[in-house]
Structure 1
Amino acid sequence: MYLSIILLPLFGALFSGFGGRWIGSKGSCIITTICIGLAIILSVITFFEVGFSGMTTCIVLETWIESGILKIHWGLLFDTITVVMLIVITSISGLVHLYSITYMETDPHLPRFMSYLSIFTFFMLMLVTADNLLQMFFGWEGVGLASYLLINFWYTRLAANQSAIKALVVNRIGDFGLSLGIFLIFWTFQSLDYSIMFSIIPFFDNHYLKFLGFSCHSLSLICFFLFVGAIGKSAQLGLHTWLPDAMEGPTPVSALIHAATMVTAGVFLMIRFSPLLEFSPFLLSMLVLFGSLTAFFASMTGIFQNDLKKVIAYSTCSQLGYMIFSCGMSCYDVGLFHLTNHAFFKALLFLSAGSVIHAISNEQDMRKMGSLINFLPMTYSLMLIGSLALAGFPFLTGFYSKDFILELTHSNSFCNLDLICSSLALWLGSISVLFTAFYSFRLIYLTFINSSNSNRILLSYIHESSFLMSLPLILLGIGSLFFGFIMQDLFIGLGTDFWKGSIFILPNHNFYVEAENLPIIIKWLPFLLSCLGICLSSITNITYLYKYVILKRYKLSSFWVYLINKKWFFDTLYNRFLVYPILSFGYKVSFKTLDRGFIELSGPFGLSKLVLRWSAFIFQVQSGQMTHYIFYIIVSVCIFSSIILIKYVLWFHNYHLLIFYFFLIFFI
């Protein structure tokens, strides 16, 4: 049963990919969807067996690598973290498969698309079920490859090519950091197995690495490299630039990447390595600061986006900041709870956006929409539910995890941070709530409520989606309404033993009781900020009062508006100071000087030129006259005999013979 959960998506991908020519589009859709559906059923059974019964399972399949002390095997670990991730991955992937049947029905390459979706699911399942770092890295690289294939699915489009290459290259930076972390882990612990490594971590609390005269805390350095990998995969500030551009792929791809697979891998890595992070206070502080800065930056940038999918993409970046933020406060279970809740309402938002785009002939600019509430009432209702859950509206799924994270930030004892860092993280996380509510309802107003900016011909063709597209939306809407309420006590309730030994938290880092005893005004603060954001969005999009304020203070506000609208110039700075110099160096030095210069001249090309020159010289020497040839023979004999004589004289030190020989040659 456990092995079938992983193999079913792989079989579906292989049948659809290699047999799609014979079984056709319908056959590919049926096979891949059935395989994912069976994986969902088995994942639910595994959730009840491992999560409620406490039967943590470890399966060793076969030896993979064995060289000296390095012994790697194919193994599967099913603990509470794994089974929760299995529910998220398989359920969201299954709904995306079902949604894609109708959404992509007119695409001639539908079997290839369904195969890519299934192989994406397979690699993510390999990542979360691995019981050693190398197998986890196999799944880690696999989701990067699958994301490249899916973003670049419409490979004839230049924008899709550029976005896929950008996602792959940016993630390579994070992957390089993760690979360095894996090397250091093996150097330090002499093993890559989770069971061995996690059990001996406390003995290395005072272990230091010395390199070039510098000493560094081993656990902190390992955690730093692991966090670099999480920054790349989970699109944290600095390596976040690939995430908005990944919207060039089909909308179901965006839902799968943002809700269940690619971007959740970095958060999962931090949660899985909680026994390691707990012994590195420096890295916990970095997690809090990076997470809060990412949440603030992405939420502010999302305000000025006009592309429907990019607004939701920046909201994903912001919510990932909250998850990393939570892990930095040693609240790994809360971070995983928010990851699970976020998967439902983010998949709902993306698939609802896909329904809107599908209905209005692939238009994604919100400024060209409007009044769609009259044409798409069900899509409007479901997208409103997703937006309210994203904004943390009370009693919806996002409220139970997002607001609890913000309550935890008000505790004075988290992460051993100093007062300045803790205050900065607190305010950035709180202000992000205001911006999140603002852009969520700006999307609702521009898309559904404001006056229409579409032409009459386009409006005449707008209609609700078919049953196969509506069913996943309804199921995700139900999950966005009730999942957080149902699972709150199980995941983060006081005294719950659901996580057992899969998450490790030091006793002095557990401060849930302090968060529960906060003043009422602190608990109401996220809701008040959300209401303020909704009110500001309503004033901005319904009335024209804001225009007078902006015009009056235009000189003061124009710079900040321009800065945020240009995404804080991250892409421009990267291009100017990193990409262009590297490309210039690659062309002028690597290509022209080395490849076309030194290597070619010293290789076959240069040797062929040299041989041609020698042959031309030899051709000139061959005059055809016998006297010239006799002269060449005599000169050659003299040179050869001179070399032999010099060697003999130097060996026996008989210099008189050498002088006599030269006189003889001179007179001859």
Structure 2
Amino acid sequence: MQETVLLPLIILLPLLGFAVLGLWGRRLPEPVPGVVASALVLGSLLLGLVLLGQGGARWAVEDWIPGVPLSFVLDNLSGLMVMVVAGVGFLIHVYAIGYMHSDPGFSRFFSYFNLFIAAMLVLVLGDSLPVVFIGWEGVGLASYLLIGFWYTERVNADSARKAFIVNRIGDLGFLLGMGVLWAHFGTLSISELRELIAPEGEFAVGINVAAVSLAAFLLFIGAIGKSAQVPLMVWLPDAMAGPTPVSALIHAATMVTAGVYLLCRNSFLYFDLPDVSFWVVLIGMLTALYGALCAFGQTDIKRIVAYSTLSQLGYMFVAAGVGAYWVAMFHVLTHAFFKALLFMSSGAVIHALGGEQDVRKMGGMWNYLPQTRIHGLVGALALGGLPLLSGFWSKDAILAASYEYSALLWFVMLITAALTALYSMRWFVLVFMGKYRGHEHPHESPAVMTWPNHVLTLGSLFAGFVGLPYVVQSENLLEPWLNKAIVHHEHEKLPVLDEWALILVSAVVALGALYYGYRFFQAEAAGRLPAWFTRFQEASLRSFYADDVYNALLVRPLKSLAKILFDADGGLLGGFWWLGSATGNLGALLARLETGYLRFYAAGLLIAAVLLVLVGVIR
């Protein structure tokens, strides 16, 4: 691995775009800001690929903070994330040139977009936890700016604040976790911590396991916030307030996968801590199931896909919790393709319908959007786990790893996979099938929006072939490549018959659920749903009252407490109001003595002298 100053240039290119477009972007005609921003992200991708092809890279300033270097590393794990962040991010940038056409904030949008990419690259390339945390907070800031991009509408500004505030809860866990590691090991360099804690792929003799457990759990809390896991999941659906390219960038390639990456980058903390890993598995399982159930009731085309992101992140956490870190990253890779494709297909539909986002007013887009219909179909099938598509292979790997951990976990995740196939078909049927239920004149998107989706479609079809199970390919491309950068336990593969049985069951469940969902939700499009499902959808639409619970237990009590304190503060100040008024009046009276006339001041001096003499005589 070479030491090179070219490594931070991967980050500096989009950061330069943020600065230039932020300062002078308004002077540039459309689409120049979008072209510049896209080119700089492409430059980061190409530079990252070149350095990765040369065996990786490292760069550090050792004396940045005593004991904490400003260090970056490009290894196989961070290299995969650079490909996802900059690669898929580049396609989303190009797509946004068409989507944001004629928007008054066109240049400001791409300035924020470049900031988002730069912050995420800091996060994935950082080799010390404080550097990672800078990127961690950077993506939080960029998401705030982008979710609330159309800030003149109150709902958008409120959604941005909600995302920002909820993430601060997880960030506190991250900070406390760093504090524990610093107190016990005297360094926050990830490479140094790995050498101290698990130098030979197992915990060092005499290591303080309690301290490692506490630090690992606190960092996990940080991951819960950033990746919107239960119970800090309430911000993610509200992130749909931003423009559609923002939703694609946050949900597919960047921010929400940061928590998964944090667990895998610090696998040396988790790989031999079954108690902490159990909580990772439990939270991931609950989030996967919760997100899938919430998707059934949504009527906003983007919120359906948003809740699918919530669920898919739960899959990734389950994989990391059971120790299959490479599988978690495998799903990050495949998910980036099909989730970006789903969001950008949704954006194409919204564009075609003049901004309409309610699926109840859609339908029939198969007849109007000849390219987007293929994109939407492939995205939905990949999400639903159709055999041979990318989503099938990564989900099957998660199901196999879950089966090795617990048969019960495998069963719950299999049920969740079936639900995923059902709601993915709901999205497709309500948008593309049947008759058009609106009043617009749908039209296909321009080439600048469709070509990125062509590339994402290819990724959704074929990306899964880099991680095939061993019964199909004795050694796949991804597992040994990623495991060079991940601390993990080597274990025996499942018996061949068991592996084939799991693949067959996964395939049959996916095919059956996709077919059933296709037939069942045609009834919803026609308004003929069973009464029980309508009642279920009402609860699902409100996210099973998660926000209501938060409002009842936290928001309203804290608002009431704040009002009491504010009124008490006002009453306390009011009690001294007479003193303030008297002081103010006296000051106003004395100010009138400042006339600026010399004779007035001389007369005043004479009067004062006479008064002093009289006082002396009287005494």
TM-score, scaled relative to structure 2: 0.88
1:619 corresponds to which residue? Answer: none
Match of 2:498 among 518, 521, 543: 518
Match of 1:131 among 109, 127, 131: 127
Matched residue SS, 2:59: strand
Matched residue SS, 1:43: helix
Contact 1:442/1:537, CA 8 A, preserved across alignment: yes
1:652 corresponds to which residue? Answer: none
Alignment of 1:9-20 (within 5 A): 9-20=14-25
Deviations 1:59-92 (CA, angstroms, capped at 9, x unpaired): 11363223xxxx2222111111010000000011
The Cα shift of 1:48 comes to: 2.5
2:272 corresponds to which residue? Answer: 279
The Cα shift of 1:121 comes to: 0.1
Stretch of structure 1 that moved more, 538-547 or 218-227: 538-547
Q: Which amino acid aligns with 1:19?
A: W
Contact 1:219/1:279, CA 8 A, preserved across alignment: no
Deviations 1:136-170 (CA, angstroms, capped at 9, x unpaired): 10000000000000001001011101110100010
1:592 has 2:602 as partner: no
1:42 has 2:38 as partner: no
Q: Which amino acid aligns with 2:568?
A: T
Deviations 1:180-204 (CA, angstroms, capped at 9, x unpaired): 1111111111110112111111247
Alignment of 1:47-126 (within 5 A): 47-49=52-54, 55-61=55-61, 63-66=63-66, 71-126=67-122
The Cα shift of 1:516 comes to: 5.0
Matched residue SS, 1:58: strand
2:394 and 2:525 map into 1 onto residues whose CA distance is 35
2:448 corresponds to which residue? Answer: 468
1:432 corresponds to which residue? Answer: 416
Matched residue SS, 2:505: helix
Deviations 1:454-479 (CA, angstroms, capped at 9, x unpaired): 12xx13xx211111111100010011
Note closer, same or farther for the CA distance 1:543–1:233 as it changes in structure 2 (3 Å cut).
closer
Deviations 1:263-286 (CA, angstroms, capped at 9, x unpaired): 011000000110001232111101
Contact 1:303/1:439, CA 8 A, preserved across alignment: yes
The Cα shift of 1:353 comes to: 0.6
1:484 has 2:495 as partner: no
Matched residue SS, 2:482: coil
Note closer, same or farther for the CA distance 1:45–1:206 as it changes in structure 2 (3 Å cut).
closer
Note closer, same or farther for the CA distance 1:608–1:78 as it changes in structure 2 (3 Å cut).
same
1:515 and 1:572 map into 2 onto residues whose CA distance is 47
Alignment of 1:358-377 (within 5 A): 358-377=351-370
Matched residue SS, 2:112: helix
Stretch of structure 1 that moved more, 150-159 or 484-493: 484-493
2:208 corresponds to which residue? Answer: 207
2:200 corresponds to which residue? Answer: none
1:493 has 2:493 as partner: no
Contact 2:429/2:525, CA 8 A, preserved across alignment: no
1:29 and 1:308 map into 2 onto residues whose CA distance is 26
The Cα shift of 1:391 comes to: 1.0
Aligned residues: 586
The Cα shift of 1:480 comes to: 0.8
Alignment of 1:20-31 (within 5 A): 20-31=25-36
Matched residue SS, 1:463: coil
1:218 has 2:214 as partner: no
1:504 corresponds to which residue? Answer: 487
Note closer, same or farther for the CA distance 1:545–1:24 as it changes in structure 2 (3 Å cut).
closer
1:160 has 2:156 as partner: yes
Note closer, same or farther for the CA distance 1:576–1:495 as it changes in structure 2 (3 Å cut).
closer
Match of 1:583 among 543, 556, 559: 559
The Cα shift of 1:294 comes to: 0.6
1:144 and 1:196 map into 2 onto residues whose CA distance is 27
The Cα shift of 1:563 comes to: 3.2
Matched residue SS, 1:350: helix
For structure 1, the 5+ residue unaligned runs are: 50-54, 209-216, 415-421, 616-628, 638-668
The Cα shift of 1:176 comes to: 0.8
Contact 2:297/2:536, CA 8 A, preserved across alignment: no
Contact 2:326/2:479, CA 8 A, preserved across alignment: no
1:529 and 1:547 map into 2 onto residues whose CA distance is 27
Note closer, same or farther for the CA distance 1:205–1:309 as it changes in structure 2 (3 Å cut).
farther
Note closer, same or farther for the CA distance 1:612–1:474 as it changes in structure 2 (3 Å cut).
closer
2:525 and 2:259 map into 1 onto residues whose CA distance is 43
Note closer, same or farther for the CA distance 1:541–1:218 as it changes in structure 2 (3 Å cut).
same
1:404 corresponds to which residue? Answer: 397
The Cα shift of 1:560 comes to: 4.6
The Cα shift of 1:580 comes to: 0.7
1:618 corresponds to which residue? Answer: none
Contact 1:298/1:318, CA 8 A, preserved across alignment: yes
Q: Which amino acid aligns with 1:12?
A: G
Contact 1:333/1:492, CA 8 A, preserved across alignment: no
1:491 and 1:484 map into 2 onto residues whose CA distance is 15
1:449 has 2:424 as partner: no
1:2 and 1:194 map into 2 onto residues whose CA distance is 17
Matched residue SS, 2:95: helix
2:179 and 2:466 map into 1 onto residues whose CA distance is 41
Note closer, same or farther for the CA distance 1:496–1:133 as it changes in structure 2 (3 Å cut).
closer
Q: Which amino acid aligns with 1:405?
A: I
Deviations 1:306-335 (CA, angstroms, capped at 9, x unpaired): 110000001111110000000001000010
Q: Which amino acid aligns with 1:454?
A: G
2:297 and 2:534 map into 1 onto residues whose CA distance is 13
Matched residue SS, 1:255: helix
Matched residue SS, 2:229: coil
Q: Which amino acid aligns with 2:27?
A: W
Match of 1:608 among 562, 569, 580: 580
Matched residue SS, 1:60: strand
1:570 corresponds to which residue? Answer: 546
1:242 and 1:168 map into 2 onto residues whose CA distance is 8
For structure 2, the 5+ residue unaligned runs are: 1-5, 198-202, 588-611
1:65 and 1:146 map into 2 onto residues whose CA distance is 25
1:190 and 1:62 map into 2 onto residues whose CA distance is 15
Q: Which amino acid aligns with 1:342?
A: H
The Cα shift of 1:404 comes to: 1.3
1:543 and 1:593 map into 2 onto residues whose CA distance is 58
1:533 corresponds to which residue? Answer: 513
Note closer, same or farther for the CA distance 1:197–1:544 as it changes in structure 2 (3 Å cut).
closer
Matched residue SS, 2:40: helix
Matched residue SS, 1:147: helix
Contact 1:58/1:77, CA 8 A, preserved across alignment: yes
Match of 1:7 among 12, 20, 26: 12
Q: Which amino acid aligns with 2:445?
A: S
Contact 2:123/2:133, CA 8 A, preserved across alignment: yes
Note closer, same or farther for the CA distance 1:505–1:59 as it changes in structure 2 (3 Å cut).
same
1:607 and 1:385 map into 2 onto residues whose CA distance is 74
Identity of aligned residues (%): 37
2:497 and 2:402 map into 1 onto residues whose CA distance is 13
The Cα shift of 1:117 comes to: 0.4
